Amino acid sequence: MMEKEMKERLIAAQKAEIDAVGMYHKIADALESETHKAMIMEIAADEGKHGRIIKGITNEIIAPDETKAAGTEMMIKTMGLKAVLEQFRLGELAGEKTVAALAEHYDEFNQIKPDERKHVEYLEKILAEI
């Protein structure tokens, strides 16, 4: 049985991945380029996959918080798409560190590591092109 603190950390990571799916969908909706939309939808799919990987450890079913996606849509309207993309890029950078730390305890996180780097690279490419 896992320690309470570690389980809470894993559940928080699982929730972040699940919530990110809807948030990335809102970003895709705001993009004009079909190439950029496809890149963001690939990130969204990866986030769902990550949530399922972590579910294999926690055995918890976590529903997405739809207010997170709605909040992303509002942030795009108020801050602008580029500012939101930069915030998500920073979030993915932080996610890389979290995943690396969790990979020291759970080998499953090694499946997630390359995707986190890819997400940062995709967001940087989109930011450079819009």
Range of the domain at 52: 4-129
In sign, the C-alpha dihedral spanning 4, 66, 69, 77 is negative
CATH number at residue 108: 1.20.1260.10
- Going residue by residue through the chain, which has 130 residues, state the pLDDT in tens, using 9 for 90 and above: 469 999 999 999 999 999 999 999 999 999 999 999 999 999 999 999 999 999 999 999 999 999 999 999 999 999 999 999 999 999 999 999 999 999 999 999 999 999 999 999 999 999 999 9
| Closest C-alpha among 120, 14, 22 to residue 72 | 22
CB 125 within 8 Å of CB 33: no
Work out how many domains the chain is built from and give that number: 1
Distance CA 63, CA 5 (A): 21
Torsions phi, psi for 105 (to 5 deg): -105, -30
Residues ≥6 apart with Cβ < 8 Å to 80:
none
Residue 125 CA to residue 66 CA, distance in Å, equals 27
